[in-house]
Structure 1
Amino acid sequence: MFFSKSIPLCFLLFCLLHHAALGASLFHFCFSKENYTAHSPYDANLIQLFNLLYTKVPPTGFGLGSTGKGQNQANGLALCRGDVSSQDCKTCVVEASKEIGERCPSGKGAIIWHDNCLFKYSNVKFAGKVDYKNKFSLWNGYKVDDPTPFNAKVKELLSGLSTKASSNPKFYATGELVLSSSETLYGLTQCTRDLYNSDCKKCLDDAISELPNCCDGQRGGRVVGGSCNFRYELHPIVDP
Structure 2
Amino acid sequence: MSSSRVFSPLYLLLSISLLLQLAIALNPIFHECNTTSFTPNGTYNENLNTLLSQLNSTTPLTGSGNGSLGQSPDQVYGLAFCRGDINSTVCQACITSAAIEIQQYCQYKEEAVIWYEYCQLKYSNLDFFGQIDYREAFYYPYFNNVSDPVSFNTTVMKLLNIVEGEAIISPKLFATGTLEVGNSTTLYGLVQCTPDLSSANCETCLDWIIGFVPRLLYGKEGGIIMTGTCELQYHTYPFFTT
Gaps of 5+ in 2: 1-25
Identity of aligned residues (%): 38
**What displacement does 1:180 show?**
3.1
**What displacement does 1:97 show?**
1.4
Q: 1-side partners of 2:81 and 2:216: how far apart?
A: 24
- What's the counterpart of residue 148 of structure 2? 146
- What's the counterpart of residue 156 of structure 1? 158
User: Could you tell me whether the CA contact under 8 Å between 2:56 and 2:99 is conserved in 1?
Assistant: no
Q: 2-side partners of 1:182 and 1:158: how far apart?
A: 20
- What's the counterpart of residue 226 of structure 1? 228
Q: How does 1:96-135 map to 2 (within 5 A)?
A: 96-135=98-137
Q: 1-side partners of 2:141 and 2:207: how far apart?
A: 18
Q: How does 1:36-47 map to 2 (within 5 A)?
A: 36-47=38-49
Q: 2-side partners of 1:62 and 1:203: how far apart?
A: 19
Q: How does 1:68-107 map to 2 (within 5 A)?
A: 68-107=70-109
User: Could you tell me whether the CA contact under 8 Å between 2:53 and 2:99 is conserved in 1?
Assistant: no
Q: What secondary structure is seen at the aligned counterpart in 1 of 2:55?
A: helix
- What's the counterpart of residue 30 of structure 1? 33
- What's the counterpart of residue 20 of structure 1? none
Q: 1-side partners of 2:54 and 2:98: how far apart?
A: 14
- What's the counterpart of residue 63 of structure 2? 61
Q: 2-side partners of 1:76 and 1:109: how far apart?
A: 10
Q: 2-side partners of 1:30 and 1:38: how far apart?
A: 16
- What's the counterpart of residue 193 of structure 1? 195
Q: TM-score under structure 2 normalisation?
A: 0.87
Q: Deviations over 1:113-151 (max 9, x none)?
A: 011100000111100000111000011111100100110
**What displacement does 1:235 show?**
0.4
Q: What secondary structure is seen at the aligned counterpart in 1 of 2:73?
A: helix
Q: What secondary structure is seen at the aligned counterpart in 1 of 2:164?
A: helix
Judge which range, 34-43 or 168-177, deviates more.
34-43
Q: 2-side partners of 1:113 and 1:178: how far apart?
A: 29
Q: 1-side partners of 2:140 and 2:236: how far apart?
A: 15
- RMSD over aligned CA atoms reads 1.0
Q: Which has the larger radius of gyration?
A: 2
Q: 2-side partners of 1:108 and 1:114: how far apart?
A: 20
Q: Deviations over 1:144-182 (max 9, x none)?
A: 001001101000000111111011011000000012332
> Residue type matched to 2:104 in 1?
E
Gaps of 5+ in 1: 1-22
Q: 1-side partners of 2:69 and 2:93: how far apart?
A: 22
